[in-house]
């Protein structure tokens, strides 16, 4: 970020893009990109990179799961996946269902759920890796 600011300040101070590129050891195209980014966004900060589609299934699954687990905590992963497909119209794999259950936020460690959706036994600590 410091380099970007110095390059743009040099060009604003009267230096040509070619001179600024030579002084700061960047390409002329890079100087042009910095100036274009500032014109377009008002900032020199890099944009956030997101690779792949947004995880829509995960959000829907995390919103749906708490109520389902309250009603059918002893159901198998296949039963949970079938119920999700029936109610939401979205098919998920058993692995996705398992990860979603394991990834649910837990406020009380005694109420943590196993990947199959069952509550862990009270007083039994979660395994800790060394």
Phi, psi of 41 (to 5 degrees): -110, -15
Given a contact cutoff of 8 angstroms between Cβ atoms, the answer to whether 76 and 68 are in contact is: no
Residues 61 and 107 in one domain: yes
The total number of structural domains that make up the chain? 2
Taking 70 as the threshold, does the pLDDT of residue 61 lie above it? yes
Residue 101 has what pLDDT? 85
Four-residue CA torsion sign, 29, 34, 37, 39: negative
Question: Could you list the residue range(s) of the whole structural domain that residue 37 is in?
Answer: 2-41
Two tokens at 23? 């002084």
- Whether 8 has a pLDDT exceeding 70, the answer reads yes
Phi-psi region of 54 (alpha: psi -120 to 50; beta: other; left: phi over 0): beta
Q: Could you report the per-residue pLDDT of 84-101, keeping only the tens digit for each?
A: 999 999 899 999 998 888
Does residue 82 lie in a domain region? yes
Q: Is 10 within a domain?
A: yes
Residue 14: inside a domain: yes
Residue 91 exposed, middle or buried by CB count within 10 Å (0-12, 13-18, 19+) = exposed
Same domain (yes/no): 69, 99: yes
Q: Is this model's pTM higher than 0.85 or not?
A: no
Q: What angle do CA 39, 45, 46 make, to 5 degrees?
A: 105
- 71 within some domain: yes
**Residue 126 maps to a domain:** no
pLDDT in tens, 100-128: 888 777 666 656 666 666 666 555 555 65
Q: Do the domain assignments include residue 24?
A: yes
* Residues 33, 78 within the same domain: no
Do 18 and 64 belong together in one domain?
Answer: no
For residues 61 and 102, membership in a common domain is answered with yes
pLDDT, residue 53, reads 82
Same domain, 105 and 68: yes
d(CA 110, CA 120): 7
């Amino acid at each position: 970020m410091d380099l970007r600011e110095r390059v743009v300040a040099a060009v604003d101070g009267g230096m040509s893009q070619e001179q600024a590129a030579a002084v700061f050891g960047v390409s002329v195209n890079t100087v042009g990109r910095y100036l274009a980014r500032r014109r377009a966004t008002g900032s020199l900060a890099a944009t956030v990179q997101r690779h792949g589609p947004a995880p829509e299934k995960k959000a829907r699954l995390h919103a749906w799961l708490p109520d389902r687990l309250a009603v059918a905590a002893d159901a198998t992963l296949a039963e949970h996946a079938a119920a999700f497909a029936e109610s939401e119209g979205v098919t998920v794999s058993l692995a996705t269902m398992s990860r979603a259950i394991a990834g649910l936020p837990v406020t009380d460690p005694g109420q943590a759920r196993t990947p199959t959706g069952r509550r862990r036994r009270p007083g039994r600590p979660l395994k800790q890796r060394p």
